Structure 1
Amino acid sequence: MIARATSPLRRLWPLIVIASAAAVGWWWYGDLLSFEALAANREALLALRDSHYAATVLGFTLAYALIVALSLPGASVATLTGGFLFATFPGTIFNVLGATLGASAIFLVARSSIGASFAARLEGSEGVVKRIKDGIDENQWSMLFLIRLVPAVPFVIANLVPAFLEVPLHRYVISTFFGIMPGALVYTSIGAGLSEVFARGAAPDLGLLFTPSILLPILGLCALALLPVLLKAMRGGREIG
């Protein structure tokens, strides 16, 4: 009886720890993860990079992973920092690696705590909810890439939803790493040009991602991700007919 009563709490404690750390991070470090903070500390960051490059890469990647895992504000600023410190390449790789590590961490925590029970409830449901889950299960690769590519999907939502749908870890990691790469490449390239922005005393234009020259290719990738789903639906329609 006691073991049965404490079992849910035992499953939930990693999620409780993450949520508590996130709350502390938002309260304590929220103001530090800003463009103004980056501008004020840019010389110190460049000096640290020049004197301890490998340690800076490791520290930056782990810090980025922590920001994502705790869903802290400032992920965009972190991406800019990756470009500012390490240029578009290899900065994009460091940004994507840090984001993937952080996303994978929160995915594993969510799946091990409430993901399995939630997935079981969806599997045992009926009607529209069950059909939606079955549709996602049948097209996991396409749907995983789609939620990463579409700029309108909040990153934290894309991190958590797959944990409730019994997505295998390897699919989650691969789709996250490559799915966020287009957007990360754009923001990292903006960060790589921050020296000129700082010289003008201006702020970076993060709306660049939504300009036609950038957004249309990303939407093209979204259409490509949806293509297997559409082809499968068309084949199913022909078989029914």
Structure 2
Amino acid sequence: MSDMTNTPNKSDEKSMLQKRLPIIVVGIAAILGFVFLRDYLNFETLSNNREALIEFRDANYILAVLGFIAIYIMIVAFSLPGAAIATLTGGFLFATFPGVLYNIIAATTGATAIFMAARLGFGDRLAARMEAGEGLVKKIKDGIDENQWSMLFLIRFIPAVPFFVANLVPALVDVPVRRFVISTFFGIIPGSIVYTSVGAGLGEVFARGETPNLGIIFEPHILLPMLGLCALSLLPVVLKALRGKEGI
């Protein structure tokens, strides 16, 4: 009788471990990447290898594109350091366009991979607990559900929100995959254009022996339009709140 009772429990534990394995792998890879790769995935490495990269691109353009996208996907999917450098590299190797397109495709694909890993491991279960809960937690979940599009675009438009946070949080509140992919693809376009264009000008930066200004996104002529996009993404939330007050 005892064996029959324990068998389902062991099966459930094994199933849960299998579900959480992808996010566990991501976590381990992120830690190892931070420890061993942070000194390599940086601007100095790009500067030191720029000539070799250009030669390889000129000799094997399609392979260079595919290899770049694959590496960028892994950086994002495993939350490795160097996503900003990867975006700069996309501009440096492939110009603002089509470099920005390659950057957006790679970043969206990598973000979706970590989103799926987190959702498989924790998302559905946590969302179910939040749905079954009461009080403040339930209100927060309901608020996100009612304004998902606005919230998803908002966390992409705000430069201060870390990319990996914007990938994980939606998975934990049961955001549909399609909605996540669409909001990620279009939401990262403004920032991607800025950093890719900076990368496209790295040749001159290298020639002067300088480093690129990665804080450019916080300069007024860049930041103000992005804040405008943030305000635009919040407009449906504001209108809904006003309508709610009118109905009271």
> 1:1-241, aligned counterparts within 5 Å?
1=6, 2-240=10-248
2: CA distance between counterparts of 1:4 and 1:174?
34
Q: Following TM superposition, by how much is the alpha carbon of 1:161 offset from its aligned partner in structure 2, in angstroms?
A: 0.4
CA displacement 1:138-165 (0-9 Å, x = unmatched) = 1111100000000111111100000011
Tell me the secondary structure at the aligned position of residue 30 of structure 1.
coil
RMSD between aligned alpha carbons?
A: 1.0
Counterpart residue type for residue 48 of structure 1 = F
Rg larger for: 2
Distance in 1 (CA, whole Å) between partners of 2:188 and 2:180 is 12
- Residues 26 and 79 of structure 2 are in contact (CA less than 8 Å); yes or no, is this contact kept in structure 1? no
Structure 1 length normalisation: TM-score? 0.97
In the alignment, the residues of structure 1 paired with residue 78 and residue 164 of structure 2 have an alpha-carbon distance, to the nearest angstrom, of 9
Give the superposition deviation at 1:5: 3.1
User: Aligned partners of 2:11, 2:18: CA distance in 1, in Å?
Assistant: 10
Cα distance in 1 for partners of 2:27, 2:218 equals 31
Q: 1:24-56: CA deviations, max 9, x gaps?
A: 322332221100000000000001110111111
Alpha-carbon distance in structure 2 between the residues aligned to 1:210 and 1:13: 38
Separation in 2 of the partners of 1:23 and 1:135?
33
Cα offset for 1:79? 0.6
Displacement after TM superposition at 1:130 (Å)? 1.0
**d(CA) in 1 for partners of 2:116, 2:15:** 18
Give the Å deviation of 1:58.
0.8
Question: Deviation at 1:96?
Answer: 0.8
Amino acid at match of 2:53: L
Could you tell me how far apart the structure 1 residues matched to 2:123 and 2:183 are? 19
- Range moving further from structure 2, 89-98 or 17-26: 17-26
Q: Letter of the 1:190 partner, please give it.
A: V
TM-fit CA distance, 1:93: 0.7
Provide closer, same or farther for how the CA distance between residues 207 and 5 of structure 1 changes in structure 2, counting only shifts above 3 A: closer
* Letter in structure 1 aligned against 2:114: I
Gaps of 5+ in 2: 1-5
Give yes or no for contact 2:156–2:187 (8 Å, CA) kept in 1: yes
SS in structure 1 of the partner of residue 81 of structure 2: coil
Q: Look up the SS of the partner of 1:31 in the other structure.
A: coil
> How far apart, in 1, do the equivalents of 2:70 and 2:139 lie?
39
Q: Which secondary structure state, in structure 2, belongs to the residue aligned with residue 32 of structure 1?
A: coil
**What does the per-residue CA deviation read over 1:46-97, in whole Å, with 9 as the maximum and x for residues that have no partner?**
0111011111111101111110111111111111100000011111111111
Secondary structure at the aligned position of 2:160 is classed as coil
Letter in 1 for 2:101: I
The whole-number CA distance in structure 1 between the counterparts of 2:11 and 2:214 is 51
Normalising by structure 2, report the TM-score: 0.94
What secondary structure does 1:95 align onto? helix
What letter is aligned with 1:15? I
Q: Report how many residues are paired.
A: 240
